[in-house]
Amino acid sequence: MTRTIGLFALVAALILGTGFLQSWNSALIILNMGLVSAIMALGVNLQWGLAGLFNVGVMGFVAVGGLAVVLVSMAPVPEAWDAGGPRVIGAILFGIGVVVAAVLAWKKLGKGVRGWAVAAITVAGFFAYRALLDPAVDAIEAVNPAATGYLGGLGLPVLLAWPIGGVMAAGVAWAIGKTALGLRSDYLAIATLGIAEIIIAVLKNEDWLARGVKNVIGLPRPVPYEIDLQADPGFVETAGNLGLDATTASTLAVKLGYSLLFTAVLVVLLILAQLALKSPWGRMMRAIRDNETAAEAMGKDVTRRHLQIFVLGCALCGMAGAMMTTLDGQLTPGTYQPLRYTFLIWVMVIVGGSGNNLGAVLGGFLIWFLWVQVEPMGQFVMNLVTSGMADGSAVKAHLQDSVQHMRLLTMGVILLLVLRFAPRGLLPEK
């Protein structure tokens, strides 16, 4: 317990230190993404720490959450809907129908014919699906491509997108889990790695959905805009009383607003995760993780439980992804990279302590802090190293340029050190 409190105090001190030494804006930026990272780490910890599922497709589920923000909160584009909305929906329903038909055919038909039947259904279905979808997509993307060119969203409050992002990620996870969860650890890892790449490819290419690489910018915000705050005399006066100028105060207030919202979500999720961990269900999950055969002999349905926790963990990642996109105010599919959104989350979980929810949260904050701060620290070190070299020398320029790559190296080294010397993480499972 003292260890837990001590380590969390350390993280708090690091973030406060950033506030005092650099700026409070930087401190809040780290805090906000730290909160989001902590939720992602909670999700991965649920899967890996509690159930031993090796999911390296976190990036994909985070991106699905981001997509949810666009689909929920952006204003709909009526012209695009008129041009091809119902046709696209119809084509997608048809596509789902084809998959369902193929699965049914596989289950219902006899051994000899089912392979051919499934092949025929999927091939014919694929061409029919493309024939239905393509003209509708062309029509939608032709509507004012510079500004919209997509269907838009539902125009609902953006906060709704967070739970919906979780639900959407859960839906995707269910479909993936149904096919891939029978596989053992290494294969599941590679399968999820592929799924994540495919989800990103879909986001980048299906312009009708969320504008692809043209990005959706100007997403609605759950907190006020800085400009509005600066125009509000009451706010300016309060800021003045605190000794801040209106501009700084407004940026801080907005970030603080996000921090409060995110903290609320994290606290609720953490409490739920702790309750789940201590419940009979949590004990069952750990029993399955530690010995699948024994758990199966006790009458536990291992595959179903795995599916359940896979879906839950992915839902958390999706929710965190929605929160992150809301914080950014834009959906930019080009920026999703597996090192940053999948493997970094894994570093958080392993370093924090897999199987321990508080550990995952701690890892989320700590690793995120390092991810951000390694660059300035590296800059400092590199300046020391190169201080003796002549100005303008190629080596010096190259070394100073390379500082930005220090963070990958550092993360790898941290992960390896923790695995070697504290394999159960900073806060080990009890």
Partner 1 sequence: MDILNAFVALANFVIVPALAYGSQLALGALGVTLIYAILRFSNFAHGDTMAWGTMCAVLATWGLQAAGIGLGPLPTALLAIPVGIAGAAVLVLATDRVVYRFYREQKAKPVILVIVSMGIMFVYNGLTRFVIGPDDQNFADGERFLISARDFKALTGLDEGLAIKTTQALTVVVALITVALLFWFLNRTRTGKSMRAYSDNEDLALLSGINPERVVTVTWLIVAALATIAGVLYGLDKSFKPFTYFQLLLPIFAAAIVGGIGNPLGAIAGGFVIAFSEVGITYAWKKFLTYFLPESMAPDGLVQLLSTDYKFAVSFVILVIVLLFRPTGLFKGQTI
CB crowding 208-234: b at 16 or more within 10 Å, else e = bbbbbebebeebbbbbeebeebbeeee
Nearer to partner 1, 323 or 418 (CB): 418
Considering only 407, 425, 426, 427, the residue that binds partner 1 (CB under 8 A) is 407
Total of chain residues touching partner 1, rule CB under 8 A: 47
| Residues of span 299-358 touching partner 1 by CB under 8 A | 337-339, 343, 346-347, 350
Q: Does 187 bind partner 1 (CB under 8 A)?
A: yes
Considering only 46, 411, 426, 427, the residue that binds partner 1 (CB under 8 A) is 411
Q: Does 409 bind partner 1 (CB under 8 A)?
A: yes
Provide CB contacts within 8 A for 70, sequence distance 6+: 153, 210, 216, 219, 325, 331
Q: Does 182 bind partner 1 (CB under 8 A)?
A: yes
Nearer to partner 1, 14 or 411 (CB): 411
β-pair partners for 216: 331
Measured from the Cβ of residue 263, the count of other Cβ atoms closer than 10 Å reads 14
- What 304-310 contacts at long range (C-beta under 8 Å, 24+ apart), as own/partner pairs, is 305/51, 306/51, 306/53, 306/177, 306/181, 307/174, 307/177, 307/178, 307/181, 309/46, 309/47, 309/50, 309/51, 309/53, 309/285, 310/47, 310/51, 310/53, 310/55, 310/173, 310/176, 310/177, 310/181
Considering only 406, 422, 424, 429, the residue that binds partner 1 (CB under 8 A) is 406
Q: Does 415 bind partner 1 (CB under 8 A)?
A: yes
- The whole-angstrom separation of Cα 397 and Cα 414 is 27
Both tokens of 279, joined, read 């419940």
DSSP-based three-state secondary structure for 216? strand
- Least Å from the CB of residue 149 to partner 1: 17
| Residues of span 108-167 touching partner 1 by CB under 8 A | 126, 130, 134
Nearer to partner 1, 186 or 243 (CB): 186
| Residues of span 350-389 touching partner 1 by CB under 8 A | 350
Q: Does 184 bind partner 1 (CB under 8 A)?
A: yes
Nearer to partner 1, 178 or 221 (CB): 178
- The footprint of partner 1 (CB under 8 A) covers 52, 54, 126, 130, 134, 179-180, 182-187, 189-191, 193-195, 197-198, 201, 204-205, 337-339, 343, 346-347, 350, 401-402, 405-413, 415-416, 419-420, 423
